[in-house]
Amino acid sequence: MNLKLANLIPAVAVLVTFTATYSAIVQAADTAAGQAAFAICASCHGQQGEGNVALNAPKLAGHESWYLRRQLEAYQAGFRGTASGDTYGMQMRPMAMTVSTPEALENLLAYIDTLPATNSEPTVTGDVAAGQAAYAVCAACHGQNGEGNEPLGGPHLAGLDDWYLVQQINNYQNNLRGYDPKDKFGKQMRPMADTLTSAKAVDDVVAFINTLK
C-alpha cells in the first residue's frame, strides 16, 4: 500500500471530469431530434411556433419550457382535452400522445426553446384601466408585468396571443380546464377566472395584458 495521495489526485480528477462530461452528453437534449418531431406540431402551431389563429393553435415560442412540459403532460394524463365541449383541447390531446417517451418530450422542448419569441398582434380591445385594476389579483401568480412566476406555477402572459388568453379564461370559467381534482395547477387558476364576472371584464383584463411587454 504505497499509493501516495498526490498520485491519486490526478486520477480522481480525470475520473470526475470524465463522469461529468459523459453524463452531460447523455443528458443533453437532442435538439435535432426535437426539430424533426416538431414537424407535426408546426402544421398547426406554425413553423416558428408562432401560433395560427385560424386553427386556434396558440403560439408556443417564448413560453417557458416548464410550463409547456406541464401542459403536454396534462393532455397526456387527461387533465386537459377530455372535457366534453372542449373542441380545441380534444384536437390537441392526440398530438400530445405522439410524444411517447420522456426523452422525446425533452428533445421537443429543447427545440421549441430555440424558436424566437415575438409579441403577437393585438386583436382584443377593452377598457385598459379597468383591466389593470382587475389584473391586481392575477399579478400575484403571473407577475406584475405578466412575466410569470415559476415557484407559483403561473406562466408568463405578456406577449401571448390575446385571442388564446380569452379562450383559456373562458375554458376555466366553463369547466373545460382545471376541472380534474388531480390537476394541481389548473385547479388554482380556475377560481381566479371566476373573478372576471363578464365577457367585458375578460376583454378588459386581456386588453391590459396586451400593454405588458
CB atoms under 10 Å from CB of 30, counted, come to 16
Minimum CB distance to ligand HEC, residue 5 (Å): 52
Minimum CB distance to ligand HEC, residue 34 (Å): 9
Of 3-11, 13-21, 22-30, 151-159, the segment contacting ligand HEC by CB under 6 A is 151-159
By CB under 6 A, name the one of 125, 195, 199, 200 that touches ligand HEC: 195
**68 binding ligand HEC? (CB under 6 A):** yes
Q: End-to-end CA distance of the chain, in Å?
A: 66
CA distance linking residue 33 with residue 156, whole number of Å: 27
- For residue 95, which of 67, 116, 74 has the smallest C-alpha distance? 74
By CB under 6 A, name the one of 34, 159, 186, 203 that touches ligand HEC: 186
CA distance linking residue 92 with residue 111, whole number of Å: 19
Grid cell locating 140: 400575484
CA distance linking residue 10 with residue 51, whole number of Å: 53
Query: Residues interacting with ligand HEC, by CB under 6 A?
Result: 40-41, 43-45, 55-58, 60, 63, 68, 70-72, 74, 88-89, 91-92, 95, 98-99, 108, 134, 137-138, 140-142, 152-155, 157, 160, 165, 167-169, 185-186, 188-189, 192, 195-196, 205
